[in-house]
Amino acid sequence: MNREYATNFSTMLDRRDFILASMGTAAWLMMSGFPRSDQAASPLALPPLPYAENALEPVITARTIGFHYGKHHKGYVDNLNKLVAGTEYAEMPLREIIIGSAGQPENSAIFNNAAQIWNHTFYWNSMKPKGGGEPPTALKQRMEASFSSVDACKQELAAAATTQFGSGWAWLVLDGDTLKVVKTGNADLPLTNGMKPLLTIDVWEHAYYLDYQNRRADYVNTVLDNLINWDFAAKNLG
């Protein structure tokens, strides 16, 4: 990592993430609950789901997971491997590809596909069968300090997810010492703005349309009540 790259990289990450990044993307991904297959450099492999395709039913059906994971997520992996072949990104871990291509119009296709691989892997881990319920104590206390209550945090997440115009994502993030809810369009993600993602909700139409048609709010609220993985968010909180 040259000095100029390291300087730019460190401005986008907090101190803990920068230390972990200097150890290699694998360390951060392991601490964030990512499967090991998401850590390798090119050719990147499709990370396995953390549960069976039918494990989130009836909230999200196996049919939706089959298309979403098996077609869309896999498509981003296949596209990225083609795009980075023979380039400086070919041997970079996924997270470094994202950071290195962010804000570069000439590499927008690389960024979009790399970020979508990362976002989707994070999204699968942001849910679990029989999720929802009460967050772990440390996370709950931070949510109450930042939002006044767990319900208020959920309401902000729901509002961000339902008001995101077009395709995108709603995120619970750690920004400095404060928890915040942010939304991003298309493939954008909080990593490139120096925020630490804790969990996310996918609001691209392919995430919910087979099950909910145009009822995005029903999808979002049902995920928050029944699938959201507060343990994953607490683990990412550190």
List residues forming the annotated binding site for Mn(2+). 68, 120, 202, 206
Which residues, at least 6 apart from 77, have a Cβ–Cβ distance to it below 8 Å?
44, 45, 46, 113, 117
Pairing assessment for the beta strands 196-202 and 178-185 based on DSSP bridges: unpaired
Which among 124, 122, 126, 130 is positioned nearest to 226, based on CA atoms? Answer: 130
Residue numbers in the known binding site are 68, 120, 202, 206
The span from the CA of 4 to the CA of 183, in Å, is 30
Which among 175, 238, 228 is positioned nearest to 201, based on CA atoms? Answer: 228
- In eight-state DSSP terms, residue 69 is I
**Cβ–Cβ under 8 Å, residues 104 and 202:** no
Other C-beta atoms within 10 Å of 37: how many?
13
Q: At what angle do helices 230-237 and 137-147 cross, to 10 degrees?
A: 80
First to last CA, the chain: 26
**Cβ–Cβ under 8 Å, residues 186 and 180:** no
150 phi and psi, to 5 degrees? -65, -45
